[in-house]
Chains A and B, each alone.
Chain A
Amino acid sequence: MDDLKMLRDLGRDLEHEPPASLVRQRQRLADAASGRRGALRRPGGWTLLGVVAVVTAALILVPTVLLRGSERAPAGTQKIGKTAHRTLNLLVLGSDKRGFGAPRTDTMLLVHLPADRRNAKVVSLPRDLMVPIPACKKGGQVIPARASALLNSAYTLGGVQCAIKTVESVTGIRIDQTLTIDFGGFKDMVDALGGVEVTLPQSVNDSKSGLRLSAGRHFVKGKVALAYVRARHGLGDGSDLDRVKRQQRFLAALSRRARGQVFKDPAGVAAFARVAARSIDAVPRLGLTEYQDLARSLEHTDPGEVDYSTVPCGPSPKDPNRLALTPEAAEVFARFR
């Protein structure tokens, strides 16, 4: 058999079609061409899977640690079964408050949990989607509807309620629960515990994430911890899947560390729990019991049974630098009902 032909066959199997989000790169070029500066995207964004891993871990960690801290659940949170064992649609927003101006949601995910929790569906909604935004209220003020605006502007304009209203009207899906996660809090969580141990099979020097570590075991905290979970290059095989595995390992280590420190450093663990609780904002508010129920109901969900995808979309007919939903999106949303 011809070696070049075999090589071409291999290439075809390895090939991926360009995603709709490639338009962001066109925007980067357009920004450079128009001499605009500062409009560039933030480096090393959080991946879809990373967000899910963080949510899951936070759901499990927060109640575990909080319950260790105080043995009894506070009164008034006894609505047992409200979140567990019924079909749930979650809207997960990843916000980053470290930047300037209003907090932004760079990540928007719809998570569908069937009543038996055997599997889960996760669909990401790209922030560059152009959608109609309904009229929203914020602080007694009415924000008028917009015929077409960036999906993530709903949150910036009218907060969580406006993001929920927009997603519900665009998708026709009823959102049962919204979880907003502030990634700035992640670093503080690690720091509160005094760091987490990681093992590197080889040394890393990644200019992109700023990660520089030698091979072997390290105790990482602060920016290094953040770089470790965010880095795509220089660690493992450079794939997204690899990064997700690394994030999950890190979160498992974080969880072990939290448990181990309960007796050794109660003050540190209390600080950790405070930061963790503060980093996740639930609407409607989740009581401790509900958190715990939700976390427990997910304990037996096989990570392999989680189906991740991006909502079907393509370049917007009005603006090639933006995205618009394609008709196939309706089929995806229908599976959430």
Chain B
Amino acid sequence: MVSAMTAPPALGAATADAEIIRRSLAEPEAFAVLFDRYSGMLYRYVSRRLGPEVAEDLVGETFLVAFSKRRRYDLEHADARPWLFGIVTRLVARHHRGEAARYRALRRSPVEERVECPADEVAALVTASASRPLLAEALAALPRRDRDVLLLVAWGDLSYAEVAQALGIPVGTVRSRLNRARRKVRAALGEVDPMSEEA
């Protein structure tokens, strides 16, 4: 999901993020390469959690924060994504009330119906749309820390180790928060689980 924006020629697409951050200590302008690489990805992530209006500004802020903290970046980590996701998560936390309201709004208005999908997907879609309000409700009700972990895994595509790095917590804590969050989500969905005979 690397954005299509052009990168300065000196730093190629193969250059590791850590190398770009190291380079930016002497040449601050080099940091823009990270923006070109990850702004699209972070925008998409934030647009899911907070909507497109907040996303643009928040992504800009993320890179300003990252830039100001680049000296403290651990150059052992070649991939800067967990670090950037960590900053994003802290900024998203400021909007936690808006985020919960966004999910709650989904309970009332189902996300657009796609009528033109192939017949064999219809069944799955019906199930999905029926349980979507419950899923949204469960997300809205999750404690912020648990939700952060769950969404970094499900929407940010980070591994457990990367989530641990992003949030500065042990991997064991990532596991326990994720398990707790998923248990609550499953419990909320269980009420209309189409696989269960009683439903």
Contact = CB atoms under 8 A, between A and B. Distances in A.
Interface of A: 1, 3-4, 6-11, 13-19, 21-22, 24-26, 28-30, 32-35, 232-234, 236-240, 243, 315, 320
Contact of A6 (B43, B55, B131): B131
Contact of A232 (B53, B105, B189): B53
A16 B32 contact: no
Q: Which of A21, A232, A233, A237 has the most CB of B within 10 A?
A: A237
Given A1-B195, A21-B56, A29-B60, A234 B97 contact: yes
A15 B127 contact: no
Interface residues of B, number: 61
Contacts of B63: 25, 28-29
Given A18-B43, A320-B5, A33 B31 contact: yes
B64 A3 contact: no
Interface in B83-134: 94-95, 97-99, 101-102, 105-106, 111-112, 124, 127-128, 131-132
Nearest to A31: B64
Nearest to B132: A10
Given A4-B154, A16-B47, A315-B5, A26 B32 contact: yes
A19 B60 CA distance: 13
Chain B interface, >50% SS class: helix
B185 A7 contact: yes
A115 to B, nearest CB: 32
A237 B101 contact: yes
Contacts of B135: 6-7, 10
B180 interface: no
B48 A14 contact: yes
A309 to B, nearest CB: 14
A22 to B, nearest CB: 6
B80 interface: no
Contacts of A6: 128, 131-132, 135, 189
Contact of A24 (B53, B60, B95): B60
A15 B53 contact: no
A37 B190 CA distance: 54
A18 B44 contact: yes
B189 A14 contact: no
B54 A19 contact: no
A3 B181 CA distance: 11
A29 B151 CA distance: 26
A31 B73 CA distance: 21
B166 interface: no
A30 B43 CA distance: 18
Contacts of B131: 1, 6
A238 B64 contact: no
Contacts of B59: 18, 22, 25
A3 B28 contact: no
Q: Which of A15, A29, A237, A239 has the most CB of B within 10 A?
A: A29
B150 A7 contact: yes
A21 B195 CA distance: 45
